[in-house]
Structure 1
């Protein structure tokens, strides 16, 4: 009961953190993401994960663009952190220009993108949860992941554009600014509780996708 009360009284970002804290830990210990953090993932595994995150980013960015004149999402639209083009550049570097046709989109990735599209309906305020999960994650833990990928897979700048925000600003400053934008958006939204629960759904989708990528790689290894 105390946690629920804390979530009700907290800012949206803090409430999202509290609601998704256990799911965040689960995500770090599950699927291909756990392998990446342990340093045991392969280049192919990371490439497949990136390819299957691409539809989610496209859906988030399309949703925010659609609602850019909406007072709720205007603060997020003003901070263009679009990662889909950067992911596409990474995929070209990792898998060649035919990545879009050669790498499969798994059902878990389709379900994740569909969930984001649903969150874009109405006033779009539930997109705040997905922006929190992905963009604030990229500016925070994503920078640790970048260094791990540099070390364990010897990936270079051409393959790590996803985590490179240098053309936009300093990642530390951007993290603070984007957190403030999320707070502004959340304060303007009519139903904070729906945003918080959408955050839990976003993490659940991420976990499912991570597991699906790991399973796909395992199944492919068996058939080779």
Structure 2
């Protein structure tokens, strides 16, 4: 399904097009898997740790890909923001469960699939990275503070365990979100095939849903066992 205006053209804003294309998937993501539990305040500490560990390879792949395209028009502007969530996730994992987290907390197949898809998006002109940056970074900036407060309350997490949601180089997160959205739109305007970017956004949300459900299934294997 491709998003189109009444005259059949694509929206001029790639962010708007991504929003329209992924709106239903966004709702589904919030209603399924570990994300549903997190938003309801019913997730466990182990569940949150497992989610972080499985998001980390995706962020690494995205951030390495953005760095690779530092001189690519449009994508390079996104890379220069250096939002760098992977180091923050690693820091949180160390505080949450120790330096052996990469041995103690499993990487699920869904986590590996997500990271591999982002690595594929890096190839060529890298324009599909726009969709992944939209899905992850703009999502972090949109709902991160709310989720940070929710996790602090429901899981009794300390600030040192929630640095994933902190952007210390940017004191005004509302301004950062607006500027990053504009940078995404500028990058999208330079994409040779905006439809590929928009469909990559739908795939990114699908991979997030798959990961969320996989985390929940790993935490509750008896509930997911066949009949």
Number of the residue aligned with 2:198: 196
Distance 1:20 1:10 in 2: 16
Alignment of 1:47-66 (within 5 A): 47-66=49-68
SS in 1 for 2:221: helix
Number of the residue aligned with 1:134: 136
Shift of 1:174: 0.8
Distance 1:100 1:171 in 2: 31
Structure 1 stretches of 5 or more lacking a match?
none
What is the TM-score with the length of structure 2 in the denominator?
A: 0.94
Matched, 1:70 2:58: no
Number of the residue aligned with 2:5: 5
Shift of 1:173: 1.2
| Equivalent of 2:121 in 119, 122, 127 | 119
Structure 2 stretches of 5 or more lacking a match?
none
SS in 2 for 1:100: helix
Shift of 1:54: 0.2
| Equivalent of 1:163 in 146, 162, 165 | 165
Shift of 1:167: 2.9
Distance 2:163 2:181 in 1: 21
Q: Select between 94-103 and 160-169 the one with higher mean Cα deviation.
A: 160-169
Deviation digits for residues 92-135 of structure 1, max 9, x if unmatched?
Answer: 11111110111100000000001001111100000000000000
SS in 2 for 1:166: coil
Q: Select between 7-16 and 195-204 the one with higher mean Cα deviation.
A: 7-16
Distance 1:3 1:130 in 2: 17
Stretches of 4+ moved more than 6 A in 1? Answer: none
Q: Which has the higher helix share?
A: 1
SS in 2 for 1:140: helix
Deviation digits for residues 14-62 of structure 1, max 9, x if unmatched?
Answer: 0000000000000000000000000000001001000000000000001
Q: Select between 53-62 and 182-191 the one with higher mean Cα deviation.
A: 182-191
Distance 1:5 1:184 in 2: 19
Distance 1:24 1:57 in 2: 19
Alignment of 1:23-62 (within 5 A): 23-62=25-64
Number of the residue aligned with 1:208: 210
What is the TM-score with the length of structure 1 in the denominator?
A: 0.95
